[in-house]
Amino acid sequence: MEKSEKFFLDYIHDKDLNQSEKDILSYLIEKKFENKQLSIRKAADDLFVSTTSIIRVCKKLGFSGYSEFIYNLGLKVTQMADSESETIAGIHGPYEQTLKEFGENFKITFKAIGEKNIEDFLHEIERNKMVYFYGAGFSTLFSNYLAKKLELFGYYVSNASTSDSRAIFFNNIQKYNLLIVFSRSGETGKVIEKVQIAKDKGLKTVLFTGNSKSTTAQMADIVFSVLDPTIESQREFQVTSFESNMFMLIDIILILAIKRGIMKEY
């Protein structure tokens, strides 16, 4: 709804105005939004009505005359502008703060990973075109994302989660040499179990996590740890930079693989 239309509806609420009077009111509001100062005579000339007709509209709206109505209309427009400015300011501060925080957390994440981990990972996906994925909880979002991306580049992938049985995992993993696991805490029992099975089978294991000190992190061959602001509080459902930074990390690694010629864009 246009701002001028909202003002119009506010003014005519419970007021018995005919169409001609509504046209007068609408015109005056529009001119105020255009920041044009109109004398009653100029308004009457533009509308092809008498000044008396304009005054009658103002009185029907509850004002003593044209001057009081214009004053009230001006106040409304000013208050609305101030309110919008406060709303923008109220959003801008937290927005800038969050953007800065997310960016800083990603810089910390990427610096902590180290080039060797990236090199090792690129080496594994270069020589293994069949990849088994395992995700726990919300981390299945990341697992599904990377699996789908690799699938687009011609990889054969399988995706499992904690809802799959141990037997299914055990049977499917036989044909793979690389397991990529996503687990935020790295302490989920089923994740630890599956990584151990993979290691016993001689698979290379890659872990994407928020906890570099977890049990799973100690077991995996390659670990990518994304800074998790909830690592101490364990409030995993809190909205933080962890999720968006994880997706950014995945995409950056994929871009590096493309630049190396390991994967080719079609």
Indicate the Cα dihedral angle 182, 188, 191, 195, nearest 10°: 100
Angstrom distance (rounded) from CA 129 to CA 257: 13
Q: Is residue 102 part of a domain?
A: no
Q: Give the CATH number for residue 70.
A: 1.10.10.10
Same domain, 75 and 138: no
- pLDDT given for residue 237 in this prediction: 64
pLDDT at 1 over 50: no
Distance CA 53, CA 187 (A): 78
Q: Is residue 128 part of a domain?
A: yes
Statement to judge: residues 255 and 179 lie in one domain: yes
In a domain, 135, yes or no: yes
Which has the closest alpha carbon to 209: 128, 135, 103? 135
d(CA 99, CA 97): 6
Domain-located, residue 37: yes
127 located within any domain: yes
Q: Which residue is associated with the tokens 């151990």? A: 196
Q: How confident is the model at residue 103 (pLDDT cuts 50, 70, 90)?
A: confident
* Residue 40: domain span: 3-82
Q: pLDDT tens digits, residue range 40-83?
A: 888 888 889 999 999 999 899 888 888 888 888 888 877 776 66
How many domains, in total, are found in the chain?
2
**Same-domain check for residues 240 and 140:** yes
> Percentage of the chain with pLDDT > 70?
91
CB atoms within 10 A of CB 207: 26
In-domain check, residue 63? yes
Q: Which residue has the tokens 């590096």?
A: 256
Q: Who has greater pLDDT, 249 or 166? A: 249
The verdict on residue 94 lying in a domain is no
Do 67 and 185 lie in one domain? The reply is no
- pLDDT tens-digit map of 169-195: 887 788 899 999 999 999 999 999 999
| pLDDT one-digit tens code per residue, 105-161 | 888 888 888 889 999 999 999 999 999 999 988 899 999 999 999 999 999 999 888
Q: Answer yes or no: pTM beyond 0.75.
A: no
Domain CATH number, residue 223: 3.40.50.10490
**What's the whole-number mean pLDDT along residues 225-232?**
81
Upper half-sphere CA count for residue 148 (Cβ side, 13 Å): 8
